[in-house]
Amino acid sequence: MPTAPTSSEITLKKTGGIDLERLSASKIRILEAAESLYTTNAIEAVSLREIALAAGNQNTNAVQYHFGGKDELLQAIFSWRVWQMESPRQAMLAHAERDNKLSDLRTLAEVLCLPLLDLTDAEGRHSYAAFLIQYQLRMRPLGISHAADEPTFSNSNIARLLHLIYDCMQVPDRDKGDYRVALGHLIFANMLVLSDVEQLPRRDPQAFAKRIEVTLDMVAAAFSAGASGGHSR
């Protein structure tokens, strides 16, 4: 009689089959190489062989060996990056709770978006933001899921955050809530990519900081449009 899967086995299945706390250097190089290639090319146009070579592997089957196919690799990138943002989001949510701002959409927009700032490549570009744009525009409409779609121990804070945002929106249709969150994420991610192209973070950090604040206002406005609950400051 087959035994029921353990919680750790279920978690590994939902995170692309990888142990996020024990990622080897070779796996991280593959994830970074894939993310980088996906930011400059259509995701479907990049081969696993290209990714393996870009990660410095002589074995062109390295991606399949470590992750399986392209779908599993995409989920591994999502899970890895979401997991990296979990601790900052946990701290930001705790701070918002102390300040009684868990129903403030501007604050929740900060918790959603600001952790993206630290997810950069070796050249300082906001690579995950660029990857998210490709995903939202090309892959999400095809039904390819994101690591935050199903709660696990590795994404509990983003799951809590989305629940708080949806509660503040008070929209009867969850699809409309999903659309607003996706739109807000795209607004912020596009700002980061545009700023990278302009080299604004290095050229004028103060102007970049001001652009971040203005963009967060826009994200909060996207969240709160037509909402009967929540507010933006």
Q: Where are the domains of the chain?
A: 7-224
Rounded to the nearest angstrom, the gap between the alpha carbon of residue 49 and the centroid of all alpha carbons in its chain is 25
Q: At what angle do helices 70-98 and 105-113 cross, to 10 degrees?
A: 140
Taking the CB of residue 151, how many other CB atoms lie within 10 A of it? 14
Mean of all residue pLDDT scores within the chain: 83
pLDDT at 102 over 90: yes
Which of 16-30, 56-70, 204-218 holds the top average pLDDT?
204-218
- How far apart CA 215 and CA 209 sit, in angstroms, is 10
Going by pLDDT thresholds of 50, 70 and 90, the confidence category of residue 129 is: very high
Return the pLDDT at 229. 44
User: Which amino acid, residue 166?
Assistant: Y
Going by pLDDT thresholds of 50, 70 and 90, the confidence category of residue 172 is: confident
pLDDT at 150 over 70: no
| Class of the domain covering 7-224 | mainly alpha
| Cα dihedral 96→101→105→107 (10° resolution) | -40
pTM of the model: 0.81
Return the pLDDT at 68. 87
Going by pLDDT thresholds of 50, 70 and 90, the confidence category of residue 170 is: confident
Q: What is the mean pLDDT of the segment spanning 42-50?
A: 86
Residues in the chain: 233
The sign of the torsion formed by the CA atoms of 23, 29, 32, 35 equals: negative
Return the pLDDT at 159. 86
